[in-house]
Amino acid sequence: MNYRTLASIALAGGAALAALTALGPPAAAAPFDPCSAISQGRLRYPTGSAQHLVLAVSSDYASNYVVVTECAKKGRSWTKVTETQGRAGANGFARPGQKREGDGKSPTGSFTFTQAFGMGNPGTRLPYRTLRESGDCWGATPGESHYNDYYSGTCGQTDEDLSTIMQLGSYRQAAVIDYNRPKPVPGHGSAIFFHVGGTSPTAGCIAIDEARLRGIMRTLAPGDRIIMGPRSELFRG
């Protein structure tokens, strides 16, 4: 190839580059808004009678990082109220129906909130239990009568000592996620809560900053829901 040909190609390439530069950089993808996606009918899971939804969405099953978004129902649409970063189970999310006790995974699906607990009611309309310094427990032993439910007394060795965990910080505030309840299947997982945290992964719960959690809890009422899992599982398109 001779010099004149090379020069022509260089000039043509320069003109093309100038034209592309004049158009500006490629448009960035719009941030994903789960509330808008629900309004568009893209959610795969039911919302039931909920007036407020909490969405805990990860990038994939293996990730324990989630974006937690609160959506409020306005007529037939859902509007974003607040959004924050959070953490899920250390081993990410279990596929639907595959959550098991002790697997370090959060369950995937749509679950109601029906009660809450902690150091003092932050203003939620959910039935609320103020924990004591000792004696508040949650069953996590498959086969026991109080499996995946609250009980008082001496906490079993493999159960959760809610009082102690409250004093350590995580259960200063918590809403109960109704996974595998009220009729629990032994061994399919227990003690799945929406609680204080957000910097470290959990054993299967969803955790966010305490101030953010208190704000969301103030809006929750019985029948409201949390929908949690990987984006590709929860939403179409």
pLDDT in tens, 49-59: 999 999 999 99
The predicted model gives 134-148 an average pLDDT of: 97
- Mean of the per-residue pLDDT values for the chain? 91
- List all residues 6 or more positions away from 138 whose beta carbon is below 8 Å from its beta carbon: 148, 149, 150, 151, 159, 160, 162, 190, 191
Residue 165 has pLDDT above 70, yes or no: yes
pLDDT in tens, 81-94: 999 999 999 999 99
The predicted model gives 116-126 an average pLDDT of: 98
Ranges assigned E (strand) in the chain: 52-58, 65-74, 77-87, 109-118, 128-130, 136-138, 150-152, 160-161, 173-177, 193-196, 206-208, 225-230
pLDDT band at 156 (very low <50, low <70, confident <90, very high): very high
Residue 160 has pLDDT above 90, yes or no: yes
- List all residues 6 or more positions away from 24 whose beta carbon is below 8 Å from its beta carbon: none
The pTM of the full predicted model, rounded to 2 decimals, is 0.88
Least confident residue range of 4-8, 120-124, 132-136: 4-8
Please report the pLDDT score of residue 124 as a whole number: 98
Please report the pLDDT score of residue 31 as a whole number: 85
Please report the pLDDT score of residue 237 as a whole number: 87
pLDDT in tens, 12-26: 444 443 443 445 455
